[in-house]
Amino acid sequence: MDKLATQDRGVLPFDVTHRLVLSVAVPMMLAYLTTPLIGIVDTAVVGQLGDAALLGGLAAGAIVFDVVFNTFNALRSSTTGLVAQAFGRGDSVEERAILMRSLIASAGIGIVLALLTPAVIAAGVWFISPEPEVAEAMRRYIGIRMLAAPLTLINFSILGYVLGRGEGNLGLAIQLLLNGTNIALSILLGLKLGWGLEGVAWGTVGGEALAALAGLAIIVRRSAGMPRLTRARLLDTKALLRMLALNGDIMIRSFSLLAAFALFTRQGAQLGTVTLAANAVLMNFFLVSGYFLDGFATAAEQLAGRAVGARYAPAFQRAIRLTCLWGFALSGVCAAVFLLGGDSFIRLITTAPEVREAATLYLPWAALTAVSGVLAFQMDGVFIGATWSRDMRNMMLLSLAIFVFWLMVVGARFGNHGLWAALHIFLITRGVSLAAILPRRARQTFA
């Protein structure tokens, strides 16, 4: 296709290369890998206090916090997809409008969540039902961390904007600032100044605050000298409704994902304490591989969204090929490493002989989740970037239904092997179902 002809049709061609894919994927892979370090450091700091109730309160509080804010991570995903499309069609004014809408929504939702802190604490204590000492520690921890709710969601929006523009190195810098400050303050306040559990919680608040200030400062500096964003453009009804619909679909998708993992944990608990503990150890293999593969899923978000905005199908198709190529290659490496070195990792995590034995028995299932899940991660990235959120929501609900059916009808006959097989079926169904409808949606979009 002649370049001038494509520009006359509103098409803005660009090349998708391995270097372009890696420029987004590698920095974000490194950024995502810093996230587990926070939990490790926080646990180590509180563990030095020698009080099991405080450690239990930290773990239970972190679960509640993660459930609440993983739900609203849709703000990051939707912002990435919408900004990537505006970036692809060269509409810098709409990029800023999307960011401002997202920031306003983040601040508003965050303030409401902070005000609802007592209700969040009550719900968390009711659901987890810990012993009184653990419940008290949990209340103190959540009470402080929820103060950062507006800051956390603002950081979601800023990261979404940065990734939508394909600025992986800037995204890495912001995440390193956030997580590095969090870790440093947790050690300083929790151990050095003797604030204990409260110090760890305030360390998180401090990290979120510094990252939000730095991100907003970058945005203000970029906006200097640019045309003023009008109120009519900012409050465009069609754009606002699109953002709300996109966030709603992604939130339903996130709830469904959490439900699947909750069912996995519940079914594991029915098989006994040793099996539950072994599965908890093995899920770390899935989580670590997920952090690696999320870098390429993020690249798929940005490049797919940019191609849709540019209305340039060749870039869209090549973005899918290259991100899937890198994703499958890396998933194979992860699986091989886990299969070869998994025993050592299991021994490092637990000293209980019966848990080690059980975890080793089911290790191949856990190691291969990287391979069975990679297509789901990549397709999620493509569909988020293209803002085909309704399809992503529907295929997630379909996958969850198949997962539940397997658990109820077949999985129970095979014990923990059946449970892990159900998880693989869930992951494969997510990826294959989205890949199956991808050609039709692409034809409709680029017609």
Cβ distance 339 to 348 under 8 Å? no
Determine the Cα–Cα distance for residues 125 and 137; give it in Å rounded to an integer.
11
pLDDT of residue 9: 54
Question: pTM, whole model, 2 decimals?
Answer: 0.88
Going 241 to 242 to 243 to 247, the CA torsion angle's sign is positive
Q: DSSP secondary-structure letter at 13? A: -
Q: Is 235 helix (H, G, I), strand (E, B) or coil?
A: coil
Q: Largest Cα–Cα distance in the chain?
A: 71
By 3-state DSSP, what share of the chain in percent is helix, strand and coil, each rounded to 5?
A: 90, 0, 10
Report helix angle 92-115 to 117-128, nearest 10.
Answer: 70
Determine the Cα–Cα distance for residues 16 and 82; give it in Å rounded to an integer.
19
The amino acid that residue 316 corresponds to is F
DSSP run (H or E) holding 209: helix 197-223
Q: Pick out the chain residues at pLDDT < 70.
A: 1-10, 36, 40
Q: Nearest 10 degrees: CA dihedral of 158, 159, 165, 168?
A: 140
pLDDT of residue 359: 87
Determine the Cα–Cα distance for residues 148 and 153; give it in Å rounded to an integer.
9
pLDDT of residue 3: 47
Q: Nearest 10 degrees: CA dihedral of 52, 53, 58, 63?
A: 110
* 338-343 LR contacts (CB < 8 Å, sep 24+): 338/285, 338/289, 338/363, 338/366, 338/367, 338/370, 339/363, 339/364, 339/367, 342/285, 342/366, 342/367
Report helix angle 74-88 to 149-164, nearest 10.
Answer: 30
If 0-12 CB within 10 Å is exposed, 13-18 middle and 19+ buried, where does residue 320 land?
buried
pLDDT of residue 8: 46
Q: Please state whether 272 falls in left (phi above 0), alpha (psi between -120 and 50) or beta.
A: left
Report helix angle 18-47 to 197-223, nearest 10.
Answer: 150
Cα–chain center distance at 410: 30
Q: Of 346, 345, 304, 336, which is closest to residue 321 (Cα–Cα)?
A: 304
